[in-house]
Amino acid sequence: MSDQVTPSRMNLTLYKQKTQSARKGHELLKKKCDALKAKFRTIMIGLIENKEKMGNMAEEAFLIFAKAILAAGDFHQNVRDAIKHATVKIDMTAENVAGVMLPLMKIKENEDSDNALTQIGMERGGAQINNARLRFKALLVLLIQIAGLQTSFVTLDQVIKVTNRRVNALEYVVIPKFIDVQNYILQELDEQSKEEFFRLKKVLSNKKRDAEIELADRQVRLQKLKQEGVDIAKIGGNIGDDEDQHDDEIVV
């Protein structure tokens, strides 16, 4: 990845911003994961307690149901004839937990159907039938609660796994890659800076050498003019031009 990035100050700033954003995202995802795990533990505890309670309630309900049949006889057909509509209905809503929508099941009771059931067993065994009805109604409510908790449990389990994968990907893959790219860019920029410094140093060295050569050549010319008896004060700084003019006079 670093080989495909052009080492420049702009890219260095860009990847610093990317690293900062990735770290912020990692922190937020970790907080989200912690919140989901806390809710997950609460649901798991409630699910375990309700399932343990369900076994005892079911055993008691069927025992009382058997007593009701013993007291009132077979009343299945009477129940089917009395009920025209569902006694219990469920309204589905949702709860937002750290951005995850968990299903909530709210129970709505139909009082008309409930009242119709109370008329069964008026001749005999009415108390046992009513007791069995109440026990099975409580068991049904508990089963609906368990169904809601189980659905939320499965949903949270999947979301937590996905969130953990994202957290690990940011922590162990994405952020280290961004840091490696930054280190690569810094290393390349440092090399470029050293090369530029060496180049400037070489240019200054060449200029200094040329200046020393020119000064030495100037001194040689000056010494030559002195030997030929030329007045240096009259020439001033134009030693090279005057020397050429002097040579022309000699030739003439």
Model confidence at 120: pLDDT above 70:
no
Check residue 226 and give its pLDDT.
Answer: 73
Model confidence at 246: pLDDT above 50:
no
The DSSP result for 17-29, as a single string, is: HHHHHHHHHHHHH
pLDDT category at 3 given cuts 50, 70, 90 is: low
What dihedral angle (degrees, nearest 10) is formed by the CA atoms of 227, 232, 237, 243? Answer: -40
Q: For the chain, which domains are there?
A: 2-185 (1.10.287.3240)
Could you give the residue ranges of the DSSP H alpha helices within 73-125?
A: 76-82, 111-117
Provide φ and ψ at 250, rounded to 5°: -65, -40
pLDDT category at 20 given cuts 50, 70, 90 is: very high
Q: Which residue would you say has higher pLDDT here, 127 or 3?
A: 127
Write the pLDDT tens digit of every residue in 46-78: 999 999 999 899 999 999 888 888 777 776 666
Q: Which residue would you say has higher pLDDT here, 119 or 205?
A: 205
Could you give the residue ranges of the DSSP H alpha helices within the chain?
A: 9-72, 76-82, 111-117, 126-169, 175-227, 232-235, 239-251
> Is-contact 159 36, C-beta < 8 A?
yes
Strands 88-97, 100-109: parallel, antiparallel or unpaired by DSSP? antiparallel
Instruction: Let me know the angle formed at the C-alpha of 197 by 193 and 203, rounded to the nearest 5 degrees.
Output: 145
Model confidence at 136: pLDDT above 90:
no
Write the pLDDT tens digit of every residue in 190-226: 888 888 888 888 888 888 888 888 888 888 887 777 7
Instruction: Write down the pTM of the prediction.
Output: 0.66
- Beta partners for 11? none
pLDDT category at 147 given cuts 50, 70, 90 is: very high
Check residue 115 and give its pLDDT.
Answer: 57
Q: Which residue would you say has higher pLDDT here, 18 or 76?
A: 18
Check residue 143 and give its pLDDT.
Answer: 92
